[in-house]
């Protein structure tokens, strides 16, 4: 199975040139599924959602998506509190936490964005115990042999080293990772940080870092956590725009970074992983 993993499109604060050529590059990869881990828009306005919908309509592959914090209206507080996902449901998907089983892969979305948090920064994300219980029930309906994937907007693991703008992990990240381990989840896809990296989580409760150099040089253990940078937004944080190309077959997960540069969309790094090894290409 081949997945194109995009994140943080931020229509309304996007690069028109990148947006114009992205659909064509995605089609060249011949994905079975396009996953977008949130932040389709910048301020959650209807024109931004309309632009996002127009982009999605260009894609040949089906789309699996979860909302991000920027997909909740930022300027219309009445809509934010009374209908926070009204535009998202209308233009992107009626499902906020979709579930799909395709080609031996079971994929579950978790909504980590919130209309309100008891703090100054409402951009931070959270995963509740009730969501984790619901996730377990959804996976119970899938084939026991399916490779399990979770998609969220807010990250569950930090990158290695210093970053331009320190960010907070999703609330209850450790509990979520422990639950994912128990449920047999093997891959987590997320965004929000506008950074591309791969980390691993090894239960019980211990966090193992990836290799010290190279954002794709991470080892696979029970859970591989793959972050996508901002795909077409102008709001960069020290990395070029990009997306992840993920191939899943025979118990192996291969992650390729497609990055925008002077030569257009090119492959920056590759990493493949199985349950007991990592091979760099």
Q: Report pLDDT for 78.
A: 84
pLDDT tens track, the chain, 281 positions: 999 999 999 999 999 999 989 999 999 999 999 999 999 999 999 999 999 999 999 999 999 999 999 999 988 888 888 889 999 999 999 999 999 999 999 999 999 988 666 565 667 888 999 999 999 999 999 998 899 999 999 988 776 656 556 667 778 888 888 899 889 999 999 998 778 878 776 654 444 443 333 333 233 346 888 989 999 999 887 788 999 999 998 778 888 899 998 888 988 765 545 434 433 33
Q: Report pLDDT for 74.
A: 85
Q: Which residues lie closer than 8 Å to 277 by C-beta, 6 or more apart?
A: 220
Q: Which helix (H) or strand (E) holds 24?
A: helix 16-29
**Cα distances (Å, whole numbers) of residue 145 to 28, 40, 58, 107:** 30, 32, 33, 13
Q: Report pLDDT for 192.
A: 85
Tell me how far apart the alpha carbons of residues 223 and 177 are, in angstroms, rounded to a whole number.
Answer: 8
Tell me how far apart the alpha carbons of residues 43 and 258 are, in angstroms, rounded to a whole number.
Answer: 26
Tell me how far apart the alpha carbons of residues 25 and 95 are, in angstroms, rounded to a whole number.
Answer: 27
CATH number, domain with residue 20: 3.60.21.10
Tell me how far apart the alpha carbons of residues 193 and 7 are, in angstroms, rounded to a whole number.
Answer: 10
Q: Structure pTM?
A: 0.85
Q: Report pLDDT for 270.
A: 58
What 3 state SS string does 160-207 have? CCCCCCCCCCCECHHHHHHHHHHHCEEEEEECCCCCCEEEEEECCCEE
Tell me how far apart the alpha carbons of residues 78 and 92 are, in angstroms, rounded to a whole number.
Answer: 21
Q: Report pLDDT for 108.
A: 97
Tally of structural domains, the chain: 1
Q: Which of 50, 56, 48, 47 is nearest to 22 (CA)?
A: 56
Domain extent, residue 191, equals 2-280
Q: Report pLDDT for 208.
A: 41
Q: Which of 71, 153, 151, 73 is nearest to 107 (CA)?
A: 151
Q: Report pLDDT for 98.
A: 97
* Helix/strand/coil for 275: coil
């Amino acid at each position: 199975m081949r997945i194109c993993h995009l994140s943080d499109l931020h229509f309304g604060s996007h690069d028109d040139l990148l947006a114009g050529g992205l659909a064509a590059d995605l089609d060249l990869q011949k994905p079975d599924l396009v996953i977008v881990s949130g932040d389709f828009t910048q301020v959650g306005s209807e024109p931004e959602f309309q632009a996002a919908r127009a982009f999605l309509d260009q894609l040949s592959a089906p789309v699996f998506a979860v909302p991000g914090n920027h997909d909740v209206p930022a300027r219309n507080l009445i809509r934010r509190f009374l209908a926070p996902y009204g535009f998202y449901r209308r233009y992107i998907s009626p499902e906020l936490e979709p579930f799909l089983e395709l080609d031996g892969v079971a994929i579950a979305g978790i909504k980590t964005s919130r209309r309100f948090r008891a703090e100054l920064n409402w951009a931070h994300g959270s995963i509740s115990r009730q969501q984790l219980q619901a996730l377990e029930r959804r996976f119970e309906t899938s084939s026991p042999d399916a490779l399990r994937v979770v998609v969220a907007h807010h990250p569950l693991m930090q990158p290695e080293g210093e970053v331009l703008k320190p960010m907070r992990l999703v609330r209850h990240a450790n509990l979520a990772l422990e639950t994912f381990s128990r449920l047999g989840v093997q891959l987590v896809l997320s965004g929000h940080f506008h950074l591309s990296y791969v980390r691993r989580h090894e239960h019980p409760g211990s966090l193992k870092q990836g290799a010290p150099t190279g954002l794709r040089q991470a080892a696979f253990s029970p859970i591989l956590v793959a972050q996508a940078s901002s795909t077409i937004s102008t709001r960069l944080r020290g990395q070029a725009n990009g997306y992840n190309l993920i191939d899943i077959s025979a118990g192996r997960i291969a992650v390729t970074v497609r990055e925008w540069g002077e030569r257009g969309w090119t492959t920056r790094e590759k990493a493949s992983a199985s349950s007991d090894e990592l091979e760099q290409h």
